Amino acid sequence: MGASQTLILAISAVAATGSLFATPAIARSVGLDVMTAMAMTIATTLLMPLVLYINLVVFQQDEFQLDLFSYFQRLIVFIFGPMLLSALSHRYIPNQILKRTHSKIAQVTILLVPAFPLGLVAEFRALFDHSWLQGLLYFGYGVTICLVFFITGFLLFMRCNVPDGMLAGITSANRNVLLTFTVAGSALGPDYLPLIGALQLPIYTMPLFVKWLGKSLCADSRSPSSTV
């Protein structure tokens, strides 16, 4: 569709990204199943290194070469290391202490989630300062990407039931783009940071859309015409 090679590379990196670690807290805020959201988040995070590597090999230009040694180092530090630490904590720390600690942390998690995108919009704001038309174009890219991911997840999983579809949709739309940047860095190209800045508003307004969609679908299912 006429997109530059660097923009295609950035979109492919976003597409490879796993779900936000805050997705279970977001799921809880709209009344969806927290444990399923956590399972989806872990699964997509584990798949991300492989999918990201494949996408970078396919879409990279010559000037953006992935340092495999650094890549695997970052995978260990930012993905596999924390998962191992979590597994060891569950193995050696009493479950009662973990539950008590988690219940206190969970009270503030949802309050911290909206603060996350504030650190990711600098490049997107700089793009607006350079050209507001270009900024609006990238914002359109961000909205489109979120909608495509949400609709795809929703349609694939709504065969089970509507809540599963909404949960899959919001998990697909919530992308841990900072983790991808931390793992792959400059190999993602110059368009990646502006694009993920443009993604933040659509990502963090998605729960409002999901809540409205859930109420609408429930209302339709209770209407007389749907029961005839």
**Contact yes or no for 9/61 (Cβ under 8 A):** yes
pLDDT score of 149: 94
Instruction: Name the nearest CA neighbour of 193 among 18, 202, 184.
Output: 184
Distance CA(125)–CA(220), nearest Å, equals 40
B/e letters for 45-79, b = 16+ CB within 10 Å, e = fewer, are beebbebbbebbeebbeeebebeeeebeebbeeeb
Instruction: List the Cα angle 183/46/165 in 5-degree steps.
Output: 115
The pLDDT assigned to 66 comes to 67
- Mean pLDDT of successive 10-residue segments in the chain (228 residues)? 84 92 83 88 88 86 68 82 88 89 77 72 88 91 94 87 88 89 84 92 85 70 50
Cα Rg of the chain (Å, integer) = 19
Is the distance from CB of 137 to CB of 199 less than 8 angstroms? no
